């Protein structure tokens, strides 16, 4: 079984499986496979890759470091791992079991991003004062993203529940609920 064949099957499963991926995710994966992974591993048999998977990924990481940031490198390596582990046997286990060593592969570390902090007093000030106080209070109480809140219509509220029709992490056409 060649990497290129498995990669195409992996994308088909993501596209039409029981839990389809978003269009933007599929586009990103197709691009990553086309640019980085298929040219490198496409004609290789998975059995061959399984025997040297960490060495092959170490070489990939070394080559990617020249042009890409740590988060992009980790994304590319993660996609490679997902494709390599996607063929399953009749018992649902990987057809080509592989062990991974992030230290050997020399995956870059992603620096911890600092999260902005707001004091309770600052929150009270924003929620109590100003023209958008109701919106801020609603966002704080519901946990919705601002785009989700702004997409709500009057008919989306019933019995204390806001019915979110579109959200960042929702598949189009599904209807989610958040209380």
Q: Which of 142, 179, 177, 3 is nearest to 86 (CA)?
A: 3
Fold of 3-105: DNA polymerase; domain 1 (1.10.150)
Claim: this prediction has a pTM higher than 0.75: no
As a whole number of angstroms, the distance between CA 65 and CA 138 comes to 43
What's the pLDDT at 172?
40
List the chain domain ranges.
3-105, 120-178
What's the pLDDT at 131?
76
What's the pLDDT at 177?
45
pLDDT tens for the 179 residues of the chain, in order: 999 999 999 999 999 877 788 888 899 999 999 999 999 999 999 999 999 999 999 999 999 999 999 989 999 999 999 999 999 999 999 999 889 998 999 999 887 766 667 777 877 777 776 778 788 877 877 778 888 888 888 887 777 777 777 665 544 433 444 43
For 158, list phi and psi in degrees, rounded to 5. Answer: -155, 130
What's the pLDDT at 139?
80
């Amino acid at each position: 079984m060649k990497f290129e064949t498995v990669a195409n099957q992996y994308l088909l499963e993501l596209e039409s499986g029981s839990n389809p991926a978003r269009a933007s995710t599929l586009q990103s994966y197709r691009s990553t496979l086309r640019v980085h992974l298929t040219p490198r591993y496409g004609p290789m048999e998975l059995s061959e890759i399984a025997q040297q998977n960490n060495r092959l990924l170490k070489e990939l990481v070394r080559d990617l470091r020249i042009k890409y940031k740590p988060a992009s490198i980790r994304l590319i390596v993660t996609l490679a791992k997902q494709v390599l582990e996607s063929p399953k046997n009749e018992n649902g286990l990987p057809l080509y079991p592989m062990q991974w060593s992030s230290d050997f592969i020399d995956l870059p570390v992603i620096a911890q991003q600092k999260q902005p902090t707001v004091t309770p007093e600052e929150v009270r000030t924003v929620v109590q004062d100003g023209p958008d106080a109701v919106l801020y209070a609603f966002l704080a109480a519901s946990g919705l993203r601002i785009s989700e809140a702004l997409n709500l219509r009057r008919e989306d509220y019933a019995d204390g529940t806001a019915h979110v029709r579109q959200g960042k992490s929702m598949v189009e056409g599904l209807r989610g609920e958040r209380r």
